[in-house]
Amino acid sequence: MLDDARTPEIIRHHVVDALQYALRNYGQVFTAKEVEWLAQWDDARLPLAAKKELGKREEPAIAAR
């Protein structure tokens, strides 16, 4: 849907905004693979939020060592 040229721009923005919100506020519901995939997205908003979530997940692992 996001890659389809026929999808209206407003729909694409809404989906990206919703994913960004979910990553920032409920990142724990995403698997590590999903977060890594979103970290490589072509819209700047998602990689920023995904990398922040990955950082949160790495902090406890580093502290446990």
Interval 16-59: pLDDT, tens: 999 999 999 999 999 999 999 999 988 888 999 999 999 998 87
Distance CA 30, CA 12 (A): 20
Q: According to the model, what pLDDT value does residue 1 have? A: 67
Contact 16, 45 (CB under 8 A): yes
Q: According to the model, what pLDDT value does residue 43 have? A: 83
**Residue appearing with tokens 């849907």:** 1
Tokens matching residue 35:
């977060």
Better pLDDT: 19 or 64: 19
The model's pTM:
0.75
Q: According to the model, what pLDDT value does residue 65 have? A: 65
Is 41 exposed, middle or buried (CB count within 10 Å of its CB: 0-12, 13-18, 19+)?
Answer: middle
